[in-house]
Structure 1
Amino acid sequence: MEETISLRELFETLRKRLWLIVLITALATIVSGVVSYFVLTPIYQASTQILVNQAKSEQQLYNYNEIQTNLQLINTYSVIIKSPTILEKVREELNLDRTVDELNEQIQVTSEKDSQVFSVTVQDPDPAMAAKIANKTADVFKNEIAKIMNIDNVTILSKAEVKENQAPVKPKPLLNMAIAFVVGLMAGVGLAFLLEYLDNTIKTETDVEKHLGLPVLGAVSIISTEGSKKAKQQVSMTKTRGETIGS
């Protein structure tokens, strides 16, 4: 016969192991908060925007084919701007104590679909340094792209700035703690059911019927130590009274 578990038994298991679930959940949340606030290094972000568009006079009209060419060039520019040719000059001009590969990992180039504007985003533990790297990368790219591609169609649309009381983009302690809370809760519940599954001891009459398939005819209660002491005291008092009356 297939064994089924009632909803009452599930809640009973959770109630019995509630201390374990709370402990694991609290421990995971506290550890996540401590690591996020005191161990991980805050990372700040700065961005600059670059426009890909040929300079035109008032008499000239915008050409659709030229706009499409500029849009296609953005993919090429996204690769060039992170190339060693550009980043090596950025590293030298800012006198950075990091390699080109490390600098490359800090820079991210993104562009919106069908837009002639793309962004250069830099992440660094120092917000001022992040802004410097972003602006210097854009400046070097603008100067070098004319030599590399023989096209002068790059304009710096906006420069990266250091905001007052700027918040780091990572880590996010509250988000990390919320995730740790959910994971800890799931781990605690899972461990509670695992321990209940592995526990094959017989504690109640119901366990006897469940595991042995035998009906329970009776049960012997356990008398506590305090109860037995009180019983002995009552017996001794009864004897004393009997002896007193008999005398």
Structure 2
Amino acid sequence: MEETISLRELFQVLRKRLWLIVLIAIIAATVSAVISFFILTPVYESKTQILVNQAKSDEQLYYNTQTVQTNVQLINTYNDIIKSPAILDKVIKELKLDGTAKSLSSQIQVTNAQDSQVAQIVVKDTSAKRATEIANTTASVFKKEVPKIMNVDNVSVLSKATLVESASPVKPQPLLNIAIAVVVGLMVGVGLSFLLEYLDNTLKTEQDIENLLELPVMGVITTIKDVPKATNIQRPDLTARVPQRGETLGS
């Protein structure tokens, strides 16, 4: 027998277990809020920009397209140099940081737009002040060391990272986490509701019997409640004398 479920039945299932769906969504949102506000450590972000550009000589009055393209291609190499121990070991020593160049490298991201001579050094740390110091020191050390490594002096610091007093962490984002938790909670609640409905094989209505037996229901026996005992009914006097033959009642 092929079973079909109408859209109305689906809504009835959701309506019947709406309390379960809402409860799971509330629990998920609460757990997410507690983790975001009280457990996860805030992470701050700081950025600085460097410009890769060969200084113009007195004889060079305009920029050569080939020179610009060469500088753009050098940025990819510089990205690797910035995150190398040759630079980060000096940053750690200068700032007296705990950890290794490898751990510091995981906090640093170097990006640049396509065909751009500007590279951006992004540093993430649990301290906003320390993130700013690492970003500025990394740019400064790289500018100082790149002529020794590449035999070319074409790097300048375009903008330094600044420390904002009311800096907001980039993660965690409590509101976003709570919103995601609510959506996930609703999905889990809906899925669990349909699973419970699928596993429930009890017969509850006349329609369930008709669907199972494919026979019409001829009658229904309703639930009979107990009749309350009467308290004011006068019982007959069982001790009254039975009249003898020839006697009349009342004599």
For residue 232 of structure 1, what is the amino acid of its counterpart? Answer: P
Partner of 2:143: 142
Number of the residue aligned with 1:181: 182
The letter for the 1-side match of 2:228 is K
Once superposed, what is the RMSD of the aligned Cα atoms? 1.7
With structure 2 as the length reference, what TM-score do the two structures score? Answer: 0.90
Per-residue CA distance 1:28-63 (angstroms, 9 max, x = gap)? 011011101110000000000000001124652211
Alignment of 1:191-202 (within 5 A): 191-202=192-203
> 2:7 matched to 1:3?
no
1:71 Cα offset (Å):
0.4
What count of residue pairs does the alignment treat as equivalent? 237
Structure 1 distance, partners of 2:130, 2:194, is 51
Amino acid at match of 2:53: N
Residues in 2 aligned to 1:105 and 1:94: alpha-carbon distance in whole angstroms: 17
Counterpart CA distance in 2 for 1:42 and 1:62 is: 44
Distance of 1:93 and 1:99 partners within structure 2: 13
Are residue 30 (structure 1) and residue 41 (structure 2) matched?
Answer: no
Q: CA offsets, 1:108-135, max 9 Å, x none? A: 0000111100100000010000000001
Structure 1 equivalent of residue 245 of structure 2: none
Task: State the structure with more CA Rg.
Answer: 2
Match of 2:247 in 1: none
1: CA distance, partners of 2:190 / 2:93 = 55
Extract unaligned runs of 5+ from structure 1: none
How big is the shift at 1:203? 1.3
Deviation at 1:141, TM superposition (A): 0.5
- AA aligned to 2:3 is E
Whole-Å separation in 2 of the counterparts to 1:3 and 1:160: 65
Task: Please say if 1:98 is aligned against 2:99.
Answer: yes
What per-residue deviation string (whole Å, max 9, x for no partner) do you get for residues 131-181 of structure 1? 000011001111110000000000000001111201000000000000111
Q: What CA distance in whole angstroms lies between the structure 2 residues aligned with 1:181 and 1:164?
A: 32
Partner of 2:219: 218
2:205 paired with 1:209: no
Letter of the structure 2 residue corresponding to residue 141 of structure 1 = F
Please identify which structure carries the higher helix content.
1
Query: What does residue 117 of structure 2 align with?
Result: 116
Question: Aligned partner of 2:45: which letter?
Answer: Q
- Report SS of the residue matched to 2:122: strand
Report the secondary structure of 2:111's partner residue.
Answer: strand
SS in 1 for 2:9: helix
Q: Name the residue aligned to 1:125.
A: 126
Structure 1 length-normalised TM: 0.91
Structure 2 matches for 1:20-59, cutoff 5 A? Answer: 20-57=20-57
Q: How far apart in 2 are the matches of 1:212 and 1:102?
A: 69
Corresponding letter in the other structure for 1:205: E
Q: List 4+ stretches of structure 1 deviating above 4 A.
A: 241-244
SS of residue in 2 equivalent to 1:232: coil
Work out the CA distance in 1 between the residues paired with 2:204 and 2:72: 74
The 2-side partners of 1:143 and 1:243 are apart by 120
